[in-house]
Structure 1
Amino acid sequence: MKKATVIGAGVAGLATAAFLAREGYDTTVVEKNDTVGGRAGELTVDGFRFDTGPSWYLMPEVFEHFFNLFGTSTEKELEMVDLTPAYRLFSEGEAPIDVRSGINEAAELFESIEPGAGEKIREYLDSSSDVYRIATERFLYTTFTSLWPFLHKDVRDRLGLLITLLTRPLDKYVAERFHDHRLRQMLTYPAVFLSSHPERTPALYHLMSETDLVQGVQYPQGGFTAVIKAIEKIAREQGVSIQLNTEVTAITTEGKDVTGVRVRRQDASVDTYASDIVVSGADLHFTETRLLPPEKRTYPEKYFGTREPGLSAVLVMLGVKGKIPELTHHNLLFSKDWDKDFSVVFDGPNAQRPLNSSQSIYISMPSATDPSTAPDGDENLFILVPTPAMEGLGRGDAYAEQASPAVEAITEDVIDQVAAWCGVEDLRERIVVKRTLGPQDFAERYHAWRGGAIGPSHTLRQSAFFRGSNASKKVRGLYYAGATTVPGVGVPMCLISAENVVKRLRGDSSPGPLAS
């Protein structure tokens, strides 16, 4: 039986391992940390359980398709809850707005804020749904090894539109249709899910509005930890071996072929896993520049000098005594001058834009839906503060004795902001648990390039086939999966990237998902 080794037990690593085992490979996953899940981690402190990574469950059909391929379903594996509202929007200086999913609901909301916007949002969402379908059928589940996905009638018939959407920035595309800043923010904030700046994100990604405003937002009880457990269970059922506390120090080769990986265990012992194929679910920059010698690199260091790493973040996890009715499950706080906020994150701070000046943040309060996340009667807050991808900002105190000064300052500022903007005046006095993560944590725990929190931005030059290949051009048998390769960032994209490894191995250049 041929052997396969997968580097990293995150979403992509576990899913890829499950696929490889199903394809007949004797598959081992090696993971440097002591738990599976990667960025989709978990932290429990004094009865408060925090997801330390993803929290928005979007693109449910991707999860359903993955489960179906292994003879099960979302219904069997997860307990899903529909969220109403999808989220609450706190726009600086304005009354909060509850945003509900559904085309009619969106039209009613938009019309109530800006006369005439109701019909415009219907047209906008019709377009987003159409482009979303084409992307799913033609450009996500593919290895880009053939031109056929681009020659399909659906693509040819929309070629002019697609070119316009690829070359027009998302923020300008939205601004041409809507005037109220709150409506513009509702339609452009998904760029953050893409680790990108709205003015650098192609308007093609208006398709993201299909996910929250049309399909709706769900939550798996138990959080993304439950999703990870479901994927891990499937992998183990396929016969996958998962080795924790085992760090890959090199990908070994002979001539042009991969031969395995060299590892170092927690007890400092070293070993080599002989493999016919190796799939790295680790960060692409780390894989190429740290695990391979220069002559074996498809993507040398100079390649990354031309790329955008995307955003990083300070994650603030708070356990709060008592209930907070002012918040719902998902909450978005946007400053009116959020262009300045994006500039801080993507261009870096300066005298006019200090590091802690960004006021556009995200708050998840899963305790509104999931009683397992907090003691009875209390609340669990997860706050994401976007920051530049700068490892030097330091670490939080979730896995260290104390946070860096920069991370601590951002944390204190954001607690004050939430209290003031959301009307929770006694928030600080009610905090009983506080833990943080910073860019250095992402760099150290996950080998993330420059301490990025999500993955490379989805600019035009870093989307679709421009994002790179999921197979090495220098080493036969070496493949890539995860957020730093095709098709992109986010848990659904990581599941798709795993499936695309199988398509690559089969020589399957067709677009679209594998048949169940």
Structure 2
Amino acid sequence: MSRVVVIGGGIAGLATAALLARDGHRVELVEKNAALGGRAGSWERDGFRFDTGPSWYLMPEVFDHFFRLLGTSAAAELDLTLLDPGYRVFVEDGGAPLDIAADLERNVAIFEGVEEGAGERLRTYLASARSTYDLAKERFLYSTFQSMTTLLRADVLRHAGRLVSLLLRPLDSFVARSFSHPTLRQVLGYPAVFLGSSPDRAPSMYHLMSHLDLADGVLYPQGGFTTIIAAIERLARAEGVTIRTDTTVTQIRTEPVTGRRRGRRPRAVVRGVVVRGADGWGQTIDADVVVSAADLHHTETVLLPEALQTYPQRWWDRRDPGPGAVLVELGVEGALPELAHHSLFFATDWQGNFDAIFGDAPHVPDPASIYVCKPSQTDPGVAPAGSENLFVLVPVPADPAIGRGGTDGSGDPDVEKVADAAIAQVAAWAAVPDLAERVVVRRTVGPGDFVVDVNAWSGGALGPAHTLRQSAFLRGRNASARVDGLLYAGSSTIPGIGLPMCLISAELVVKRLRSDTTTTALAEPL
């Protein structure tokens, strides 16, 4: 039984704490903010309640597996609703919106209606996506990559040629082999954005994501995504986890390893953390293991001395932080039937959008390809009767200099300019000309807020992009090579970005401490 300190109370930190406590460890979690959730937070005013981060419930089997590890289930902990349509697509040229349905057969018909022959090609495409997804779950997502020999399995070797091709070919060209219509290409390329990347930069391995929304459908937890955080917090406390909010870790304490070092032997061993409470007083918390579910860049470059950094600044200088974002939370009077629960607005200059965000001369794209969530479509509790709740995400470069947001237009000028443009864009493309006049609650969040709120590297909204150099075993590992007993969880490390990936990252911490080098998920319950 080890004494464990978990840094960070987002979904990865809470999930890690819950699993480790169930596995017999004595766990204390510290969170710098007053509320838990990290990026998956919440904000309320005048009867409107906004999820401030993740809003797509995909990979339901990952959530259910996590809850079953703790002796329960997603069905017992959450009230899930299947969205139909899963989402609606608006295009810049004024064409009719395209609804993506909740099941495969209708989507085959929808694709066929847009482009002759595209329906059956979609069926073939999604069959490939499904087989790739199944292989990823079996051999890659639940692997710590401590031993690469675990990947030398018959099923991996049998598909080696195809896997190499999928890794080396970008997603956009893979999609273009089967589909000609620009909107269909955009629908199939958009999952790269969930991964903090772009269709021309993400490996086509990630076409597996299309299986999740076009075949399995999109779910929504009634009460919003903070109900997921609340459920995991409740389970963590039931397992005996001590949780401290308003507690900032200022240093990871270590002790030098004595004796001669050989090879990659750690230079130090973890001894705990130094924290500062809301009252300004500092103290130390002793620990045998420290798990940082905070931003990995912050953990490595701020909480450790340079000599003990596995990923020093020079490593980050060669990496891609993924996109930043301007978030716009709007309380709107009256109904908005023009919008679905999820709506995507795709600009005609698709490639130019991504070049603006990720290219050599980064700037805010105009017009941007944006995402709009209207949870009041499904959940009456997030807005007063007769009103709508809108959450708008505008991808921008990961640049804190764009600024911070605020309420009622009080944010930094560049952030509010992006918000104004997004509101005007939704009004024009969705034919809601009086949208701006109907806004009664407004709050913005900019890249600078991601730095302040969650210590995000370069103000990134999601985490390091899933490019070839930042995927699978090429991504930041989940254990320090310099400090024995220091582990990592969350979107910065393996397996990657998104709530399901963060849940898996928590499980990978358990596997590390168990010296479990298998590639499959742990047996249920833990």
Alignment of 1:80-159 (within 5 A): 80-93=80-93, 94-159=95-160
Greater alpha carbon shift after TM alignment, 17-26 vs 452-461: 17-26
SS at match of 2:166: helix
Residue 462 of structure 2 is matched in structure 1 by: 454
Residue 47 of structure 1 is matched in structure 2 by: 47
TM-score by length of 1: 0.98
2:327 corresponds, among 303, 315, 333, to 315
| 2-structure distance, mates of 1:89, 1:104 | 18
Give the superposition deviation at 1:349.
5.0
Residue 523 of structure 2 is matched in structure 1 by: 515
Contact 2:325 2:460 in 1 (8 A): yes
Letter in 2 for 1:470: N
Alignment of 1:12-51 (within 5 A): 12-51=12-51
Residue 472 of structure 2 is matched in structure 1 by: 464
Residue 374 of structure 1 is matched in structure 2 by: 383
| 2-structure distance, mates of 1:295, 1:381 | 46
| 1-structure distance, mates of 2:357, 2:224 | 27
2:308 corresponds, among 296, 316, 332, to 296
The Cα offsets for residues 381-436 of structure 1, whole Å up to 9 and x where unpaired, read as 000000000011100005x9920010010011111111000011110111000001
Residue 396 of structure 1 is matched in structure 2 by: 405
Contact 1:258 1:477 in 2 (8 A): yes
| 1-structure distance, mates of 2:306, 2:99 | 52
SS at match of 2:200: helix
Greater alpha carbon shift after TM alignment, 105-114 vs 217-226: 105-114
The Cα offsets for residues 203-243 of structure 1, whole Å up to 9 and x where unpaired, read as 00000001101111000001111110011111111000110
Contact 2:331 2:388 in 1 (8 A): yes
1:344 corresponds, among 342, 346, 356, to 356
The Cα offsets for residues 323-353 of structure 1, whole Å up to 9 and x where unpaired, read as 0000010000001111111111112656xxx
Q: Does 1:432 align with 2:444?
A: no
SS at match of 1:163: helix
Residue 369 of structure 2 is matched in structure 1 by: 360
Gaps in structure 1 of 5+ consecutive residues? none
Letter in 2 for 1:5: V
| 1-structure distance, mates of 2:7, 2:16 | 10
SS at match of 1:198: coil
Contact 2:409 2:443 in 1 (8 A): no
Q: Does 1:383 align with 2:392?
A: yes
Residue 474 of structure 1 is matched in structure 2 by: 482
| 2-structure distance, mates of 1:205, 1:2 | 37
Letter in 2 for 1:387: V
| 1-structure distance, mates of 2:493, 2:61 | 21
SS at match of 2:136: helix
1:484 corresponds, among 485, 492, 514, to 492
| 2-structure distance, mates of 1:349, 1:421 | 28
| 1-structure distance, mates of 2:427, 2:190 | 22
Q: Does 1:497 align with 2:509?
A: no
Give the superposition deviation at 1:25.
1.4
Distance verdict in 2 for CA 1:17–1:304, change over 3 Å:
same
Q: Does 1:4 align with 2:24?
A: no
Residue 70 of structure 1 is matched in structure 2 by: 70
| 2-structure distance, mates of 1:31, 1:54 | 19
Give the superposition deviation at 1:149.
3.6
Contact 2:141 2:495 in 1 (8 A): yes
Q: Does 1:58 align with 2:58?
A: yes
Give the superposition deviation at 1:441.
0.3
Q: Does 1:265 align with 2:277?
A: yes
Letter in 2 for 1:119: E
Residue 239 of structure 1 is matched in structure 2 by: 240
Gaps in structure 2 of 5+ consecutive residues? 257-267
1:443 corresponds, among 444, 451, 456, to 451
Contact 2:324 2:397 in 1 (8 A): yes
| Greater helix content | 1
The Cα offsets for residues 334-384 of structure 1, whole Å up to 9 and x where unpaired, read as 01111111111112656xxx5251420000000000011100111000000
Contact 1:356 1:413 in 2 (8 A): no
Letter in 1 for 2:37: G
Give the RMSD, CA atoms, in angstroms.
1.1
| 1-structure distance, mates of 2:242, 2:303 | 22
Give the superposition deviation at 1:313.
0.2
Q: Does 1:201 align with 2:202?
A: yes
| 2-structure distance, mates of 1:42, 1:126 | 37
Give the superposition deviation at 1:156.
1.4
Contact 2:102 2:214 in 1 (8 A): yes
What is the percentage of aligned positions where both structures have the same residue?
A: 54
Distance verdict in 2 for CA 1:54–1:219, change over 3 Å:
same
Contact 1:138 1:512 in 2 (8 A): yes
Contact 2:476 2:493 in 1 (8 A): yes
The Cα offsets for residues 128-158 of structure 1, whole Å up to 9 and x where unpaired, read as 0000000011100110012344222221111
Contact 1:7 1:281 in 2 (8 A): yes
The Cα offsets for residues 286-338 of structure 1, whole Å up to 9 and x where unpaired, read as 00000000111101110001100000100000000010000010000001111
Contact 1:311 1:346 in 2 (8 A): yes
| 2-structure distance, mates of 1:356, 1:432 | 27
Letter in 1 for 2:284: T
Give the superposition deviation at 1:103.
2.2
| 2-structure distance, mates of 1:439, 1:504 | 33
| 1-structure distance, mates of 2:361, 2:382 | 35
Residue 420 of structure 2 is matched in structure 1 by: 412
SS at match of 1:309: coil
Q: Does 1:506 align with 2:514?
A: yes
Contact 1:344 1:358 in 2 (8 A): no
| 2-structure distance, mates of 1:401, 1:378 | 20
SS at match of 1:140: coil
Aligned residues: 512
